Structure 1
């Protein structure tokens, strides 16, 4: 048996922390103004009506309303509640 670890195995063992990306509020769900709808890398989903886009491409609601996904699920709108 070896008395020391092999060089390659002792250099392994790093991992990145989770990024928690994805859809946070789905179609038909109610959201308040400023609420995060999607966290993403790049514009996988595009902002539609009443939806803003942050500098890290996070989509968020500009008004209170109901989330709607359109155009093959690639555009996100928020229908305001009255």
Structure 2
């Protein structure tokens, strides 16, 4: 009987798919309304002028212009702005 019994499954056969988070548009880049600027978990970056925030904390442009990052406030929060012409 040339049969092979079933081998046990390995313990390592899984891995989560990457979430593709991070900055998508950098400072100085031209942007149009609706473009995603940052994908993030939590508020690593905060929305500034002409920038909206989705329910998953994604920052997106609300106006056409140029992306500008800045650090403001007592706690050193990072803000993303869209500077219009």
Measured after TM superposition, the shift of residue 73 of structure 1 is: 7.4
**Runs of 4+ in structure 1 over 4 Å off:** none
Partner of 2:70: 70
Partner of 1:49: 49
CA distance in 1, matches of 2:63, 2:26: 16
CA distance in 2, matches of 1:76, 1:22: 13
Structure 1 residues not aligned, in runs of 5+: none
CA distance in 2, matches of 1:73, 1:80: 22
Structure 2 residues not aligned, in runs of 5+: 1-5
TM-score between the two structures when normalised by the length of structure 1? 0.84
The number of residues matched between the two structures is 77
Instruction: State how 1:1-82 maps to structure 2 within 5 Å.
Output: 10-71=10-71, 74-81=78-85
Alpha-carbon RMSD: 1.9
TM-score between the two structures when normalised by the length of structure 2? 0.82
* Secondary structure in structure 1 of the residue aligned to 2:10: helix
Measured after TM superposition, the shift of residue 62 of structure 1 is: 0.1
